Amino acid sequence: MTEPQKTAIVTGAAAGIGRAMVERLVADGWRVIGVDRTGASLDGAELLVGDAADPSVLALALERCGGSLDALVCSAGIPPSGPWESREHWDEVIAVDLTAPYEALRICMPGLVAARGSAVLVGSIVGAIEGSLRSPAYAAAKAGLEGLARSMAVIGASDGVRVNVVAPGAIATDFDERLLPADRRTDVPLGRMGTAEEVAAVIGFLIGPEASYVTGAIWPVDGGRVVLSTADAERMR
């Protein structure tokens, strides 16, 4: 008997980690609905152009999945910029990087319950582990994602819904500011930036059956950056 095709919604689907996740899921035979403000061609997936924080867009994405959702990946985000004292910047970053994942979970929870599905929020080592000189808003939003995920993991547990976070470090996408060459990162023990595909691989594990006993967890994908002391970083230069 053929198993039904699995369904996923990916926000921020047009670029970076979101796009890598869409490509991975499509290659694995999933039906994928991508959500992004920017129109783009997503081979094998359907793209809804709209705001990832808009309940009507999220509801339409869930409807396109038939109401049953195996995976929700919240990858839409605004990078840290500034100035830090800009209230406009604060409001925009909190809306996209924190409120939008909350809305996605709120709207999509019935579909996740129907499929006993899994959600992964794309966080960052900035926030819960590091501060941000440029953007306290970004750090606050990403730290808040971890509290949101832990809370939703508890809320969804009785219905078999799992919620986790991946926390990338320096990843070679347009999202990440290039302070050092990608292949010579003295602030990363592995010596290089990661790739969007490497982050997508961890997300793929977390939404899959091998991670069926993992929920409310934070998974750094940072090449060891957060375990490197300042003194050792200086020795690596």
How far apart are alpha carbons 223 and 2 in whole angstroms? 39
Angle at 97 between CA 233 and CA 179, to 5 degrees: 30
Whether 138 is a known active-site residue: answer yes
12 and 76 in contact (C-beta within 8 Å)? yes
Q: Which of 121, 101, 148 is nearest to 203 (CA)?
A: 121
Residue type, 60: L
Residue with tokens 């994602």: 145
H or E segment to which residue 93 belongs: helix 87-94
Burial class (CB in 10 A: 0-12, 13-18, 19+), 237: exposed
Active-site choice (138, 161, 173, 196): 138
Torsion of CA 90, 95, 99, 103, to 10 degrees: 180
Residue with tokens 């919620």: 163
* Burial track 72-98 (b if 16+ CB lie within 10 A, e otherwise): bbbbbbbbbbbebeeeebbeebbbbbb
* Burial track 33-50 (b if 16+ CB lie within 10 A, e otherwise): bbbbeeeeebeebebbeb
- What residues act catalytically? 138
